[in-house]
């Protein structure tokens, strides 16, 4: 076993280069498999997976273009949906998300998907766009009131 690499910050890395490359190859294999099965489209794994989950649970059709401006999905009536996803980590629990006014003007509903650290859906909200209240930084806080009123789980 070779020397332990030192990271940019100067701290010793517990993984050796060979282990790091093995983990990255596994990650690449997983991402390629998810892309092949049209679960991941853009490389934004959390966002893409949230869109996939929301589309399945709410019977929505995802838009073809992964770079579509303004909305992510439609329903059978032609209503447009913007989907925002947050994933908890061991160091952070999501409680807000960014959304632009221009996005809200184009959609009827905003879907909020929250995943736990093991990729389980723990919150799924279907919020009418007109009910979204942003702060001055164009962020929406996922309050208990929103959860109570618009949860679809």
Do 37 and 48 fall into the same domain?
A: no
86 and 145 inside one domain: yes
Per-residue pLDDT of the chain (153 residues; tens, 9 = 90+): 455 555 555 555 677 889 999 999 999 999 999 999 999 988 899 999 999 999 999 999 999 875 667 799 999 999 999 999 999 887 877 788 888 888 888 999 999 999 999 999 999 999 999 998 888 888 888 888 999 999 998
Is pTM beyond 0.85? Reply is no
CB 143 within 8 A of CB 135: no
Residues 53 and 118 occupy one common structural domain: yes
DSSP secondary structure string for all residues of 82-112 = EEEEEE--SS----EEE--HHHHHH-SEEEE
Do the domain assignments include residue 118? yes
User: Domain with 128 in it: what CATH number?
Assistant: 3.40.1350.10
d(CA 71, CA 117): 26
Is 2 within a domain?
A: no
Any domain includes 110:
yes
Say how many domains are in the chain.
2
**Domain annotation covers residue 7:** no
Pair (75, 92) in one structural domain: yes
Structural domain for 87, as ranges: 44-150
Residues 6+ apart with CB under 8 A from 147: 123, 125
Q: Determine the pLDDT at residue 1.
A: 47
């Amino acid at each position: 076993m070779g020397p332990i690499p030192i990271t940019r910050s100067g701290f010793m890395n517990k993984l050796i280069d060979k282990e790091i490359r093995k983990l990255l190859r596994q990650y690449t294999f997983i991402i390629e498999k998810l892309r092949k099965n049209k679960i991941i489209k853009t490389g934004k794994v959390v966002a893409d997976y949230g869109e996939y989950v929301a589309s399945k649970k709410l019977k929505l059709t995802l838009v073809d273009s992964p770079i579509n401006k303004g909305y992510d999905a439609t329903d059978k009536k032609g209503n447009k949906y913007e989907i925002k996803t947050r994933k908890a980590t061991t160091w952070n629990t999501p409680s807000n998300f960014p959304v632009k006014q221009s996005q809200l003007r184009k959609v009827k509903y905003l879907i909020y998907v929250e995943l736990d650290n093991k990729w389980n859906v723990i919150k799924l909200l279907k919020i009418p766009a007109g009910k979204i209240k942003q702060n001055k930084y164009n962020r929406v806080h996922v309050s208990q009131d929103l959860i109570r009123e618009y949860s679809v789980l």
